[in-house]
Amino acid sequence: MANLTIEDNFPAGIRVLVIDDDRTSLHVVCMMLESCGYKVTKCTSGKEGLEMLRQEGQFDIVLTDVHMPDMDGFQLLEHVGLEMDLPVVMLSVDSSHENVVKGLKHGACDYLIKPVQREELEKIGEHVITWRRANAGIFDD
Amino acid sequence: MDVSMLQRTYTDLLTSLFREGILNQQFIELQQLQDENNPGFVNEVVSLFFEDAGRLITELISNFNQQAVDYKKVDAYVHQLKGSSASIGAEKIRSVCQTFREYYDKNDIQGCYNCIQPLKQEFMTFKSKLEALFALEQQIVAAGGSIPMMRH
């Protein structure tokens, strides 16, 4: 597991994978994240995103849309929770209470409603720090 | 046409788009992301929207013309359109999508159907206005001027 030295050049060291089948939304979110100093990788498919995540050590956090045709955000969240140790933030234009609760209950560290504001994205680096502090010592280094 | 006239026309057009509710604050967020490192950002993202939304609306209309409408599919298309229009500040389009989903949740098929033409109309209006806006931007830059920024 990578160490916590990202705090030295926070948030510049943080690598984000953004998954959304909607190109427009994806482009906007990625531009906002880049403007905050994050290193961003885009992906338009849940399945492809999962494959990229399975290649260990590439990303510090995942942002995923909820409604996607091949694999939805909840399924992705479940896989990530079972197979790896990464914070997941969900994105959706759907603000239904039910889905927000579902996401958070299944381990998402946040659930953002589109259109997402830059200020909300600025904070995702904090989720990485919090997540690592919470999981430190649970996994072998 | 001289630069200041072009800039004035641009500002008037942009102001009217906000006043008519075609654009909302999110569009200004996009303009603020545009800088020397990403000079074509707004144009790029709106062009993506033109392509993808145009295709979605065509699919929607063709789905509604079938004998047996697949409402789940239609709802998925509208959901995506809602997300993309919200992301770029295309307020009227987003709003019609919202209305559609409210009818869909109530199983009101007529209500859903009544949203399709307005959706197409709002998209055509949005496209032509934004194309005019971008054309003005090009003319301003070609004439050596800078694009006036709108503050909300």
- ipTM of predicted complex: 0.92
pLDDT grade for A139, boundaries at 50, 70 and 90? low
Locate the chain B residue with the closest alpha carbon to A115. Answer: B87
Residue B119 has pLDDT above 80, yes or no: yes
* Whole-number Å distance between alpha carbons of A25 and A11: 22
Q: Which 8-state DSSP code applies to residue B10?
A: H
B71, amino acid identity: Y
Residue A37 has pLDDT above 60, yes or no: yes
Residues of B in contact with A115 (CB under 8 A): 26, 29, 86-87, 89
* Whole-number Å distance between alpha carbons of B110 and A60: 47
Diameter of chain B measured on Cα atoms: 56
> What pLDDT score does A138 carry?
61
CA nearest B145: which of B11, B14, B29?
A: B11
CA A117 from chain centre, in angstroms, equals 15
Average pLDDT in the B113-127 region?
A: 96
B138, amino acid identity: Q
Residue B11 has pLDDT above 90, yes or no: yes
**Minimal CA separation from B75 to chain A, in Å:** 11
**Minimal CA separation from A12 to chain B, in Å:** 17
pLDDT grade for A1, boundaries at 50, 70 and 90? very low
**Minimal CA separation from B31 to chain A, in Å:** 11
- The mean pLDDT value of chain A amounts to 89
Check if the beta carbon of residue A18 is closer than 8 Å to that of residue A50.
no
Chain A contact present for B38, CB below 8 A: yes
Residue B70 has pLDDT above 80, yes or no: yes
Residues of B in contact with A21 (CB under 8 A): 80
B121, amino acid identity: Q
> What pLDDT score does A85 carry?
87
Average pLDDT in the A133-140 region?
A: 70
Question: Which residues have CB under 8 Å from A97's CB, separation 6+?
Answer: none
Chain A residues 94-123 with a CB less than 8 Å from chain B: 94, 114-115, 117-118
Which region among A71-75, A81-85, B35-39 has the lowest average model confidence (pLDDT)? Answer: B35-39
Give the containing element (helix H, strand E) for A17: strand A15-19
**Minimal CA separation from B14 to chain A, in Å:** 20
> What pLDDT score does B36 carry?
81
Nearest-10 crossing angle of helices B41-64, A23-35: 160
Give the containing element (helix H, strand E) for A88: strand A88-92
> What pLDDT score does B67 carry?
82
Does the beta-carbon distance from B45 to A31 stay under 8 Å? yes
Instruction: Indicate the residue of B38, B53, B86 with minimum beta-carbon distance to A115.
Output: B86
Residue A96 has pLDDT above 90, yes or no: no
Average pLDDT in the A92-108 region?
A: 90
Instruction: Provide the b/e sequence for A93-110 (b: ≥16 CB within 10 Å).
Output: bbeeeebbebbeeeebbb
**Minimal CA separation from B49 to chain A, in Å:** 6
Does the beta-carbon distance from B48 to A118 stay under 8 Å? no
Which region among A63-67, A91-95, B84-88 has the lowest average model confidence (pLDDT)? Answer: A91-95
- Which H, E and C letters describe A41-55, residue by residue? EEECCHHHHHHHHHC
> What pLDDT score does A6 carry?
47
User: B49, B80, B88, B98: which to substitute to probe chain A, counting the most A Cβ within 10 Å?
Assistant: B80
* Whole-number Å distance between alpha carbons of B132 and A111: 37
Chain B contact present for A42, CB below 8 A: no
